[in-house]
Structure 1
Amino acid sequence: MVVLALTIGVVWSMPDAEFKRRLLPVLQPVAVATGLEQDWRMYAPEPLGRLEFVEVRVIMANGVQRVWTPPRGDRVLGAFTWYHWQKLKENLVREPTIRVDMAHWVVRQVTELTERAARVQMVLRTELLPAPGTDGPRTVTEEILYDEILAGGQ
């Protein structure tokens, strides 16, 4: 029984392939009767097709560029704080109205009182992932979400 349950679990977790299609008719009656026919795609029906990263670039009056990225946190508490920054990143991509405030906040974070920021840019960097099971190259693109020349410094 244990071997049968493990076999069903493994077969149902496999990607669609000829081997799986041949075993399904044999295993399906037992799987349905025992509740082992879980379709794990319901938890991630469409795998991620791209990764998104937001960074804010602050160009100082002297030409030095500082780049701010959302914090990842440490190994212990990072998982708890990561979600906050992940949701902020998603909203920055979707909601143009919040970008100006975020850009100005970052300028304040990365400049000292004696420094002057001349420009701020918010950039969305996307990395297209190859289809599962392929080793194609990753395509990286950048899109400027917000760009402001700061008159008088921030």
Structure 2
Amino acid sequence: MFWRWTAWKLGISAFVLFHVTATLAWVVPDSPVKAALFPAFRPYMIPLALWQSWGMFAPDPVQTTYTLEAEVVDSRGMGRIHEFASVADLPWWEKVPRFRHPKMAANLAIAEYEPQRVIAARHVVRTLGLPPEAFPVYVRLYYQVVKPPPPGSSAADPMEPRTIEDLAAFQFDSWDEVHRR
């Protein structure tokens, strides 16, 4: 019985040490140590959305609202628009398990998250349920950007046009390429 408790404490301590080391390796300024440790912790940090982006603390923080969307065109030229879920529009009980989704969408613009952009594009095609004969398909990920309201006003003008910022484009030649495990 004592050995089980000791093993449990050692396991928890090892996990906490690993997590703290991964977090520190992620947030320290660029250095040779970070360059060596960063690849080892990436498979842990990115899928769990544990990374940080310091843009919100910068002297000039992000001041626009943007939504992630995708345009899909199949082999017959049929176009579809996929709107990623907006957590803000969900009731609280659906927001709680998805609170990391906006963070994922925001960070897709960072160059090092190219693998996540491919994952997002594949997700769109799977969600649309395109049959094998619809391939090849072309997927364009983009942001719809809304400027903040002017100082002193309470809300943005809903009629103001949104700007489109392209994020990435992919072509998937076969159904298997999208549904691979």
TM-score, normalized by length of structure 2?
0.49
* Structure number having the greater helix percentage: 2
In structure 2, the partner of 1:146 is 168
- 3-state DSSP of counterpart to 1:93: coil
Distance 1:48 1:131 in 2: 15
Q: Which has the larger radius of gyration?
A: 1
Q: For 1:56-75, what per-residue CA distance to the aligned partner results, in whole angstroms no more than 9, with x for missing partners?
A: 11112222222222224642
Displacement of 1:119: 0.7
Match of 2:129 among 84, 87, 111: 111
Q: CA separation of 1:148/1:112 partners in 2, compared to 1, >3 Å: closer, same or farther?
A: closer
In structure 1, the partner of 2:54 is none
Q: For 1:104-153, what per-residue CA distance to the aligned partner results, in whole angstroms no more than 9, with x for missing partners?
A: 22212212334424210001111112323148864521111111233345
Matched, 1:124 2:146: no
Q: CA separation of 1:82/1:46 partners in 2, compared to 1, >3 Å: closer, same or farther?
A: farther
Alpha-carbon contact 1:50-1:129 (below 8 Å) kept: yes
Matched, 1:55 2:76: no
Q: CA separation of 1:78/1:46 partners in 2, compared to 1, >3 Å: closer, same or farther?
A: farther
Instruction: Tell me: higher relative CO, structure 1 or 2? Use CA pairs within 8 A at least 6 residues apart.
Output: 1
Aligned pair count reads 110
In structure 1, the partner of 2:78 is 64
Matched, 1:102 2:116: no
Alpha-carbon contact 1:99-1:146 (below 8 Å) kept: yes
Alpha-carbon contact 2:144-2:165 (below 8 Å) kept: yes
Distance 2:98 2:146 in 1: 20
Distance 2:156 2:70 in 1: 29
Displacement of 1:80: 0.8
In structure 2, the partner of 1:88 is 104
Alpha-carbon contact 2:69-2:142 (below 8 Å) kept: yes
TM-score, normalized by length of structure 1?
0.57
- Could you list the runs of 5+ residues in structure 1 that have no partner in the other structure? 1-44
Q: For 1:52-96, what per-residue CA distance to the aligned partner results, in whole angstroms no more than 9, with x for missing partners?
A: 111111112222222222224642422213412112111212244
Backbone CA RMSD of aligned residues: 3.0
- 3-state DSSP of counterpart to 1:62: coil
Q: CA separation of 1:90/1:80 partners in 2, compared to 1, >3 Å: closer, same or farther?
A: same
Aligned identity (percent) is 21
In structure 1, the partner of 2:53 is none
Distance 1:82 1:133 in 2: 32
In structure 1, the partner of 2:46 is none
* Structure number having the greater strand percentage: 1
